[in-house]
Amino acid sequence: MHQLDWNAAINSIREALPLAQFQNWVKPLEFIRCNENALVLGVPSKFHEEWIRHHYTGHIQQAIRKQTGANLQLEFEILVQEENIEAALAPVPMAPLMPGARPNLRIVPLTPEDEREEIIEGPNLPVIQHPFIELPYNHVPFQCADMFIHGSNFPMNPLLILGGVGMGKTHLLSEIGRRIFAENPKARVRFTNFESFSAEMVTALRSNDILTFKKKYRDETDCLLFDDIQGLSTRPKTQEELLHIFNEISAKGGRIAFTTSVPPQRLQGFIEPLRSRLLSGVLAEIKTPSFEERVEILARMCELNHLFIDGPVLRSMADKGQKDVRELIGSLFRVHLQAKLENKELNSNYLAQEGWIRETQKAAVTLSEIISLVEHNFGVSRTELTSKSRKGMTTWARQVAMYLARKYTLLPLEEIGKSFGRDHATVIHAFQKVKETMESQPTRKYEVEFLMRKLESHSPQTTPDLPPPAPQPESDSLDFFSGLSERD
C-alpha cells in the first residue's frame, strides 16, 4: 500500500464539504498512525467521534481510497484532558460503532494550573435514543441550529424551531445543547420547558427563594434552551420573568433557542414585549416529511439498529400516512418486535394481519375492475383516465380510481401511478384529496361510498348510471369540479 499523505487527504475532503462543516468537524482530526488495515485518527471528544462516524466516514474513506486505492477501517482515539473524561465517556445516543472498530482513550496529562480548574457538570438535556436524521423536510432548521451552535455572524439569537407534535423539535434542541457542551465543556447550557420552568418559579415564590431562581437563569446560564414556549400562553407573570431572563442572557452575549408548535405571530395570551423578542429571532420550520422521506427515515433507523426489513415492507409502513415522525419510528419498532416475538416473518401478509393492509378485500379486487367501475359510473373513458387531461370531471374520476386502487389492492404506489401515467406522489395526493373532499362534500362522499360498496361485494357496476344522488346544498353542484386539479 502507498504511504498515506494525511494533508493531501484533508485537502480532498475540504473540497467536498462546506467550509463551516470542514472547519468544525474534519479539521480538528489528528493523524495518529496508519497501517495496511486501519487509519487511526485523534478526536477531541466522544461526541466528536460519533458525529464523524455518522456524518463524515464516507468522505474520509473516499479521500483515502482516492489516494491509496485501499479501503481502510477508521479507528479513533479520544484526546481529552482528565477534567473532561466523564463527558468523553458519557453515552451519546448517536449511530452505533462500525463493526470491528476499537475506540481507545488517550489521556493528556494536566498541568498544575489545569488541576486547579473546577470540573463543570454536563447540561440537563433530555435523553434521546437515536441520532437526529437530517433530510430535506428538516434541512433548514438543522442548518440554522448549526449556525446557532457556532455563533455565526448572521444574527441567530433567538432561534425559534417551529414544528408539529412528534416532528423532532425537542430532539434538535437537545442536539444543540449537546454539541455546544461538546465543543466547550465550560459553557453553562440549561434546558427547560414551560412546565418545568413554571413549576420551578412557583416553588421558588412559595419558599421565598426567588433570588436563587433568578440567579440560576440570569447569572448562571450561557445558553438557554426552552422547549414548547407556546405552553406559557395566559401566564403573564411567568412570561415577564422569562423576558427579564431573556434580556439578561442576551446582554451578556449568551444565546437562547426556543421550540414552538405555534408560529410566533399566532401565539395567544403573550405579553407584547416577549412576543416582540420572539419575532426578532430566526424562525426555522420542520415541515411534514414526504412519503419518500418517511421511507428514508425508516431505512436509516433500520440501519442504525441493525434491523433487516425489506424495502417493500418499509414502503408499506411509510404509506400508512403518519405525519408524526415519532409515531412512525415507534410503529417500526413495535411491529418488528411483535413479529420477532411471534417468530413470524415481517412481510406484507404480517402487516395485513396487524391492520396495516386490508388483506381480504385487496386480494379479491383488481386494478382493472376498479378502472372499469369508475369508467362506467363517471362516464369517463379509460383513455381519459390515463391522459394528461385536467378537466374537472376527469380529474375527479382519476383521483377516485387512485383512491380505490390504493385502498383495495396490494399494488405498490409506483405501479398504481404508472397505470394512470403518474408517479407515486400523485397517488398519495389523490388519496388525501378524495378523503378531504368526502369530508366536505356530501355528494362526493355518496359517490365514492357507492363504488366502495360495489367493490366490497365484488360485483362491480357495469352500467353507467348511478342511483339518485343524495340531497345536497347548492354549493355541491358540478361547478365544484372546475377548481379541482391533480395537485391543488
Return the closest-CA partner of residue 401 out of 420, 422, 414: 420
* pLDDT at 366 exceeding the cut of 60: yes
* pLDDT at 275 exceeding the cut of 70: yes
Domain membership flag for residue 346: yes
Residues 280 and 299 in one domain: no
Domain membership flag for residue 92: yes
- Pick the last residue of a domain from 80, 115, 150: 115
Residues 300 and 433 in one domain: no
Residues 266 and 142 in one domain: yes
Domain membership flag for residue 131: no
Domain assignment of residue 300, given as a range: 291-356
Domain membership flag for residue 210: yes
Domain membership flag for residue 120: no
Residues 297 and 395 in one domain: no
Question: Any alpha helices (H) in 409-469, and if so which ranges?
Answer: 413-419, 424-440, 442-456
Residues 165 and 235 in one domain: yes
Average pLDDT, the chain: 77
Provide the 3-class DSSP secondary structure of residue 256: strand
Tell me the mean pLDDT in the region 186-214.
90
Return the closest-CA partner of residue 468 out of 451, 448, 443, 445: 443
With the C-alpha atoms ordered 349, 353, 408, 317, is the resulting torsion angle positive or negative? negative
Residues 388 and 309 in one domain: no
Domain membership flag for residue 269: yes
Q: What is the dihedral of CA 136, 139, 141, 142, to 10 degrees?
A: 140
For residue 441, the model assigns a pLDDT of 85
Domain membership flag for residue 372: yes
Domain count along the chain: 4
- Pick the last residue of a domain from 329, 356, 383: 356
Residues 339 and 281 in one domain: no
Residues 394 and 420 in one domain: yes
Beta-sheet strands, E only, within 151-254: 159-162, 189-193, 223-227
DSSP run (H or E) holding 172: helix 169-183
DSSP summary character for residue 269: S
Beta-sheet strands, E only, within 228-327: 255-260, 282-285
Q: What is the chain's length?
A: 488
Residues 270 and 388 in one domain: no
* Separation of first and last alpha carbons in the chain: 59
- Pick the last residue of a domain from 84, 115, 146: 115
Domain membership flag for residue 125: no
For residue 257, the domain's CATH number is: 3.40.50.300
CA distance to 45, 53, 84, 256, 356, per residue, from 185 (Å): 10, 21, 8, 18, 47
Residues 245 and 156 in one domain: yes
pLDDT band of residue 116 (cuts 50, 70, 90) is very low
Residues 321 and 377 in one domain: no
Distance, in Å, from the CA atom of 320 to the CA atom of 331, rounded to the nearest integer, reads 10
Residues 413 and 433 in one domain: yes
Convert the pLDDT of each residue in 471-485 to its tens digit: 444 333 333 333 444
The answer to whether the predicted template modeling score (pTM) of the entire model surpasses 0.85 is no
For residue 350, the domain's CATH number is: 1.10.8
Worst-scoring range by mean pLDDT, 53-67, 116-130, 429-443? Answer: 116-130
Q: Are strands 282-285 and 189-193 parallel, antiparallel or unpaired?
A: unpaired
